[in-house]
């Protein structure tokens, strides 16, 4: 198949945006998401988007910019049905949580002798002691999105389970996200 299914228009960009976030490029990830949504013929709209997964990506970038670990955790819980479309999303989100929120690595289930041996061989030398890996983000990629208030952090609506919950507000936060965002 040349282009993929029409129902997957949000899955392609989600993979790219999450990977860019894992590569410590949040500003580029936001720009990619905005450009994709602006030019895609079935979307062509600003935030809030007509697809829940796109709204999830937007909210995730806001959480990263403001280091809002609580909202990040709630987002993952609320958008579980969208995240579950691709098993790799969970791994990418775990990595994003480690990089931007300082979350610990998820505990792996012991996989026997062979699994432990391979895990030991693949462990990086600088992290053999089990200490947390340090992450650096290029200053050009640092992102700051000011919030109007803590309760309105994640403005907008979604077709996901978030409607009527903490993230529900009357207005979208599109005014706060611009191409000339302040860098930390």
| Phi, psi of 156, deg, nearest 5 | 110, -175
Where in the sequence is the domain holding 88, given as residue range(s)? 8-104+137-176
Query: 122 falls in which pLDDT band (50, 70, 90)?
Result: low
Query: 108 falls in which pLDDT band (50, 70, 90)?
Result: low
Q: Say which CATH number the domain at 43 has.
A: 1.25.40.10
H-type alpha helices, the chain: 9-22, 26-39, 52-66, 69-78, 80-83, 87-101, 112-122
pLDDT, average across residues 135-149: 60
What are the tens digits of pLDDT across the range 60-82? 999 999 999 999 999 999 999 99
Q: Could you tell me the two tokens for 167?
A: 């993230």
Closest Cα partner for 145 from 102, 169, 174? 174
Which of the residue ranges 65-69, 114-118, 150-154, 167-171 would you say has the lowest mean pLDDT?
A: 167-171
The number of domains in the chain is: 1
With respect to residue 55, please indicate whether it lies within any of the assigned structural domains: yes
Full-prediction pTM beyond 0.75?
A: no
Q: Could you tell me the two tokens for 142?
A: 């640092």
Q: How far apart are CA 121 and CA 101, in angstroms?
A: 27
């Amino acid at each position: 198949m040349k282009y993929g299914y029409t129902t997957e228009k949000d899955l392609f960009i989600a993979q790219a945006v999450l990977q860019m976030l894992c590569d410590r490029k949040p500003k580029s990830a936001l720009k990619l998401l905005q450009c994709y949504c602006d030019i895609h013929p079935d979307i062509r709209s600003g935030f809030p988007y007509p697809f829940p997964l796109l709204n999830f990506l937007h909210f995730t970038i806001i959480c990263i910019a403001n280091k809002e670990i609580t909202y990040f955790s709630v987002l993952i819980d609320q958008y579980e049905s969208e995240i579950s479309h691709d098993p790799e999303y969970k791994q990418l989100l775990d990595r994003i949580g480690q990089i931007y929120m300082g979350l610990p690595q998820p505990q792996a289930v012991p996989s026997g002798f062979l699994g432990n041996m391979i895990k030991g061989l693949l462990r990086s030398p600088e992290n053999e002691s089990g200490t947390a890996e340090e992450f650096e983000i290029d200053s050009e990629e640092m992102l700051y999105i000011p919030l109007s208030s803590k309760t309105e952090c994640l403005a907008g609506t979604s077709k996901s389970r978030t409607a009527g919950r903490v993230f529900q507000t009357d207005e979208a936060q599109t005014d706060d996200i611009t191409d000339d965002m302040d860098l930390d």
